[in-house]
Amino acid sequence: MNRPYTFINVAMTADGKIDTAERKGAAISSKQDKERVDQLRAGADAILVGGKTLLEELPKLTVRSEALREGRIQQGRSPNPIKVGVVTVADIPIDSDFVKVGNARVVIFTTSRTSKTQVERLRTHGVEIFTEDAARVDLVKMMATLKQVGVERLVVEGGGTINFELMRLGLVDELMVYIAPLVFGGINAPTLADGLGVPRDMAIELKLMDVEKWEDGGVVLKYKIR
């Protein structure tokens, strides 16, 4: 397989929203779910987010638990997975948590719409950048590059647009969903998979592998993508 084994992980409400319509990165995960995600991150070589999530939230994307980071070091790995962003214009502040926190490798896939000055600025601060002379990043090529730089296990952490695009292109192996006992509503609130959608006969088919019912009222669903 010319790409990493890829998981999408999502925290959503019972009505399928992954944020409120305000799109400010609303908290959805419970304490137990944050621990589950931390384990998932600790087992990964890289964590990827889409451009909107990256630029609007500048997430740290690190392993929170010191014990899990220590466990990685003992296996001869870096304490944190590689942070990966896919963004048309990479206007990422160099002093942001995304770039600075956790002493992790940072890899950005972007287009020639990112200025040369910005590319140089990011490179000077240790960010690895792959630039394409196209309107959008080619996600198939991006996955092959990730494999080449040593990523065997990739966790995708949203948002809805990148989740959908990767699934549509057949680039995802597993989908994990924490469903919180909440409803956000809102026609403009992002969902697990946004983008343009597919007609019924092209629906992405899943195989349910596991269901967990938690004390906090949440449910975790684990699917394989067929």
- Write out the residues near ligand NAP by the rule CB under 6 A: 10-11, 18-19, 23, 25, 28, 49-53, 86-89, 136-137, 139, 157-162, 165, 190, 194
Residue 104 and residue 125 in contact, taking contact as beta carbons nearer than 8 Å: no
CB closer to ligand NAP, 29 vs 80: 29
For the bound state, the minimum distance from the C-beta of residue 70 to ligand NAP, rounded and expressed in Å, comes to 26
Residue 73, amino acid: I
CB closer to ligand NAP, 100 vs 168: 168
Helical residues (DSSP H) of the chain, grouped into ranges: 31-42, 51-57, 66-74, 97-100, 116-124, 139-148, 160-168
For the bound state, the minimum distance from the C-beta of residue 76 to ligand NAP, rounded and expressed in Å, comes to 30
Name 77's Cβ contacts closer than 8 Å, sequence gap at least 6: none
Residue 10 and residue 177 in contact, taking contact as beta carbons nearer than 8 Å: yes
CB closer to ligand NAP, 28 vs 58: 28
For the bound state, the minimum distance from the C-beta of residue 160 to ligand NAP, rounded and expressed in Å, comes to 4
Q: In what order do the strands lie in the sheet with 219-225?
A: 128-132, 106-111, 82-86, 46-50, 153-156, 5-13, 174-180, 219-225, 206-213
For the bound state, the minimum distance from the C-beta of residue 149 to ligand NAP, rounded and expressed in Å, comes to 18
Residue nearest to ligand NAP (CB): 159
CB closer to ligand NAP, 151 vs 179: 179
Structure tokens at 35: 């621990």
What's the rounded Cα separation, in Å, for the pair 195 and 163?
Answer: 9
For the bound state, the minimum distance from the C-beta of residue 42 to ligand NAP, rounded and expressed in Å, comes to 18
What's the rounded Cα separation, in Å, for the pair 218 and 178?
Answer: 7
CB closer to ligand NAP, 71 vs 118: 118
What's the rounded Cα separation, in Å, for the pair 161 and 158?
Answer: 7
For the bound state, the minimum distance from the C-beta of residue 26 to ligand NAP, rounded and expressed in Å, comes to 7
CB closer to ligand NAP, 4 vs 50: 50
